[in-house]
Amino acid sequence: MNAHAPVPSPAAGCDIRHERGQRAVFCGLTGIVWLHRKIQDAFFLVVGSRTCAHLIQSAAGVMIFAEPRFATAIIDERDLAGLADANEELDRVVGRLIERRPDIRLLFLVGSCPSEVIKLDLGRAAERLSRNLHPGVRVLSYSGSGIETTFTQGEDACLAALVPEMPQARDAAPRLLVVGALADVVEDQFARIFADLGLADIRFLPARRAGEMPALGPGTRYLLAQPFLADTARALEARGATRIPAPFPLGIEGTTAWLRAAAEAFDVPADRFARVTAPGRARAETALEPHRARLAGKRVFFFPDSQLELPLSRFLSREMGTALVEVGTPYLHRQHHAPDLALLPAGTRVVEGQSLDAQMDRCRAARPDLTVCGLGLANPLEAEGFATKWSIELLFTPIQGYDQAGDLAELFARPLKRRARLEV
């Protein structure tokens, strides 16, 4: 996981530091909260402990769905003592699940810290179950464990597990693959723009249904829509796809650069690109304007959370005029982040990793105007007088693309607006 690409940082201008210590981050299981909605006939079965089950239901905003497409097979002492055969137990649990949810076409067995530590081989279990449940249900596995994945890396591991499932394209025709879970509405907007640009074969990973995963071929060029997909990218390249480097599609500048990278890769004439993107850029400009007054000049501090921190801070500093006090990120993939890093103001302090108490001390000393942080820290910081934006909302809200640029700015402006509004 997350071996850094051996590419030197192109952003000589950023002050990149590393920190180790206590981390306040979710584990990769959290990704299930959005992935189970994205792939409509997939079910996520965590093989783990009561803690895993408790985490997901707590992270899911505490029980927002009456019948979720995720569950936990809770390992108990009988499994650990070897009194019960873990594989037989798993087969029994999966059987009960499939009986209850005959609509499931794709089942992910999701590894957890305990299942990794006791070395339960979920890959083999998935193969066995796939054979047994063939052809109705395909069973795959990946790890969302906290010892191996941080928050959004769970999506990375899930998508990487899907890559071998993608059919082989019969020809070498050029095709574009957009990689990373996006809100359906954002995906539809991007599909329309790519179509207007004249790109014929545009597909998204993950597809909305298990049986519709896009084909891969030597002509596949892929564009990352999310900045945390290191393993998925590696798996795609192993199958011959090539990455189109681009900043991430946040804000007008990011969206334009992201679309342009694809357009140039597919030889779309510049004037056509300008014509197709002009209305979106204009709308986004209108939508951003009202938030600039509130955000310009404000000092922002990012705690590490989703790996979206770099493109977000690039958007805030270049389009909204904010100053960056510190940009924390759990991991920094030098290669995938290179285009965004290059756009950050010189001297920006980027901190990879975390030592929570030390970082809180720095935050308190810097007294930022807005602190972007996880749910565990937000209210305590508010109580100390800091305006905060809780970062998980940035994963659960459509923020990519032109028509969401205003919503993205508003997410950051709202805490400031609210503080200005309240008289109590």
Residues 24 and 355 sit within 8 Å (Cβ to Cβ): no
Cβ-based neighbours of 101, under 8 Å, separated by 6 or more: 43, 69
Of 305 and 410, CB closest to other proteins: 305
Q: Would you count residue 114 as binding other proteins (CB under 8 A)?
A: yes
What's the CA gap between 323 and 364, in Å, rounded?
16
Of 40 and 57, CB closest to other proteins: 57
Q: How far is the CB of 174 from other proteins (least distance, A)?
A: 39
Of 106 and 250, CB closest to other proteins: 106
Query: Taking CB under 8 A as the rule, which mask of x and - marks residues 53-72 in contact with other proteins?
Result: xxx-xxx--xx--xxx--xx
Of 117 and 173, CB closest to other proteins: 117
Work out the number of other CB atoms within 10 angstroms of the CB of residue 331.
Answer: 19
What's the CA gap between 88 and 73, in Å, rounded?
12
Q: How far is the CB of 79 from other proteins (least distance, A)?
A: 6
Among 5, 13, 19, 23, binds other proteins (CB under 8 A): 23
Q: Would you count residue 29 as binding other proteins (CB under 8 A)?
A: yes
Of 133 and 215, CB closest to other proteins: 133
Q: Would you count residue 84 as binding other proteins (CB under 8 A)?
A: yes
Q: How far is the CB of 225 from other proteins (least distance, A)?
A: 24
Residue 342's φ and ψ, nearest 5 degrees, are: -65, -20
Of 94 and 320, CB closest to other proteins: 94
Q: CA dist 310 to 225, 239, 328, 414, Å? A: 14, 28, 8, 20
Residues 306 and 33 sit within 8 Å (Cβ to Cβ): no
Q: How far is the CB of 403 from other proteins (least distance, A)?
A: 29
Of 92 and 192, CB closest to other proteins: 92
Q: Return the amino acid letter for 124.
A: R
Q: In what order do the strands lie in the sheet with 323-329?
A: 15-19, 349-353, 323-329, 299-302, 370-373, 388-390
Please classify residue 283 by burial: count the beta carbons closer than 10 Å to its beta carbon, then call 0-12 exposed, 13-18 middle and 19+ buried: middle
Q: Which two tokens stand for residue 126?
A: 């998935």
**307 conformational bin, left if phi > 0, alpha if psi -120 to 50, beta if neither:** left
* Part in contact with other proteins (CB under 8 A); list of ranges 75-83, 124-132, 217-225, 265-273: 75-83
Query: Taking CB under 8 A as the rule, which mask of x and - marks residues 212-241 in contact with other proteins?
Result: ------------------------------
Q: Would you count residue 423 as binding other proteins (CB under 8 A)?
A: no
Query: Taking CB under 8 A as the rule, which mask of x and - marks residues 126-155 in contact with other proteins?
Result: -------------------xxxx-x-----
Q: How far is the CB of 353 from other proteins (least distance, A)?
A: 10
Q: Would you count residue 89 as binding other proteins (CB under 8 A)?
A: yes
Q: Would you count residue 379 as binding other proteins (CB under 8 A)?
A: yes
Residues 303 and 328 sit within 8 Å (Cβ to Cβ): yes
Q: Which two tokens stand for residue 87?
A: 């594989």
Q: Would you count residue 106 as binding other proteins (CB under 8 A)?
A: no
Residues 343 and 254 sit within 8 Å (Cβ to Cβ): no
Q: Would you count residue 3 as binding other proteins (CB under 8 A)?
A: no
Query: Taking CB under 8 A as the rule, which mask of x and - marks residues 338-377 in contact with other proteins?
Result: -------------------x----------------xxxx
Among 11, 14, 25, 332, binds other proteins (CB under 8 A): 25
* Part in contact with other proteins (CB under 8 A); list of ranges 73-81, 131-139, 291-299, 305-313: 73-81
What's the CA gap between 177 and 206, in Å, rounded?
10
Residue 182's φ and ψ, nearest 5 degrees, are: -120, 155
Q: Any idea how long the chain is?
A: 424
Q: How many amino acids of this chain bind other proteins (CB under 8 A)?
A: 63
Of 391 and 404, CB closest to other proteins: 391
Report DSSP state, residue 216.
Answer: B
Chain CA centroid to CA 282, Å = 27
Among 5, 16, 97, 215, binds other proteins (CB under 8 A): 97
Query: What is the helix (H) or strand (E) element at residue 178, kind and residue range?
Result: strand 175-179
What's the CA gap between 252 and 320, in Å, rounded?
11
Q: How far is the CB of 262 from other proteins (least distance, A)?
A: 35
Angle, CA 269 vertex, CA 268 and CA 272 arms, to 5°: 95
Chain CA centroid to CA 46, Å = 19
Task: Write out the residues near other proteins by the rule CB under 8 A.
Answer: 1, 22-30, 47, 49-51, 53-55, 57-59, 62-63, 66-68, 71-77, 79-80, 84, 86, 89-90, 92-93, 96-97, 100, 113-114, 116-118, 145-148, 150, 357, 374-380, 382-383
